[in-house]
Structure 1
Amino acid sequence: MSVSNVEMAGEAGRYAAPLRILHWLIAGLVMATWPLGLMIGFVKEDVKLDFYLVHESLGFLVLWLMLLRIGARLTSSAPLVEAPALEKAAAHTVHGLLYVFLIIMPVSGFLATNAHGFPLNWFGLFTVWSPIGKSPDIAFTLSAIHEWSAWILLALFALHFAAVIFHHVIRRDRTLYRIL
């Protein structure tokens, strides 16, 4: 497969700078938040609340950055790329699902925290308004949605990362450079 002239043109073959920055910022936050959430069940009780505070605060930050990213994505175009139709469809599907679950996961986590009766105290700086308050009848459902969306997000990340490796190492094309 050949690389299109647009891709070889440098900056024209890349995502806009705000999208590139948000991509890597969100990726870094998720790479910190996801394992932190997984570890909460294994830490001693005297530090568990600290883990929750950081996990929930980072997750809430991911939510707002994702909303900003969606706005930036809607106002800028993606760089053109030549690829088979099936490959383009797979990429669009995985990217779309990543966006969806990067919204579902923090929203469900935030609402689950609220429903369990714990308002989000964002990095200890201020308390975030709770839209639902303590609601034990839906707390475990929201927690389950949050947990399942985390595992789905991990699977989507694995697919995304496998595609990066495929394009960069096997195909040796410039796909990775679109987001760097």
Structure 2
Amino acid sequence: MNGAQSMLAGERYAGTLRILHWLIAVLVLMTWPLGQMIGFVKEDVKLDFYLIHESLGFLVLWLMLVRIGARLTSGAPLVEAPPLEKAAAHAVHGLLYVFLIVMPVSGFLATNAHGFPLKWFGLFTVWSPIGKSPDIAFTLSAIHTWSAWIILALFALHIAAVVFHHVIRRDGTLYRIL
């Protein structure tokens, strides 16, 4: 019997969490490279890249807040693993949650501090809690940039753990989120 066949329904994350996991993953995989490309695009399309990047990032923020609420109310399936492995998994997941909040918040505030309000997908302007604040704009931008790189490193650790469990251990860990 393979990992998928041996899993019980209660050993999977709730459907809402599984959908949010994959939706946020796709959005991050779109938003992250888009943000990296902004510095390399022609000036006549740069603002379009910013608009899409910022709008997707703001969407990630709200979906993460929903995900945290769903996670707190539905819990997580129990997993048997050595204590160190469990601690590492909790640390990586916890840090991913933290930085998937920190990154869009710092990006949103940095944009505002630089004097550019977020016009979400061109539909409406999002209220700015700080307005133009050049004195903190650089710090917020640095937090945003560092958060992006930290998320990339955490993502790499997460994928390495997925490969380890699915290919080497051949357990049902991956099926918990599918």
TM-score, normalised relative to structure 1: 0.95
Root-mean-square deviation (Å): 1.1
| Structure 2 residues not aligned, in runs of 5+ | none
Deviation of the 1:121 alpha carbon: 0.2
* Alpha-carbon distance between aligned partners in 1 of 2:100 and 2:70, rounded to the nearest angstrom: 15
Residue 13 of structure 1 deviates from its aligned partner by 1.0
Q: C-alpha separation between the residues in 2 aligned to 1:39 and 1:9?
A: 41
Aligned to 1:81: 79
User: Which residue is 1:113 aligned to?
Assistant: 111
Moved over 3 A (4+): none
**Hey, what does 1:14 align to over in structure 2?**
12
Letter aligned with residue 73 of structure 2: T
Aligned to 1:93: 91
Are residue 41 (structure 1) and residue 39 (structure 2) matched? yes
Q: Is the 8 A contact 2:96 2:151 kept in 1?
A: yes
Cα deviation, residue 81, structure 1: 1.1
How many equivalent pairs are there?
Answer: 175
How far does the alpha carbon of each residue in 1:73-115 deviate from its partner, in whole angstroms, 9 at most, with x for none?
A: 0001211111000000000000000000000000000000000
Q: Give, in whole Å, the separation in 2 of the partners of 1:91 and 1:147.
A: 24
1:110-138 deviation per Cα after TM superposition (whole angstroms, max 9, x unaligned): 00000000000000000000000000000
| Alignment match, 1:156 | 154
User: How many Å apart are 1:8 and its aligned residue?
Assistant: 3.2
Match of 2:50 in 1: 52
Gaps of 5+ in 1: none
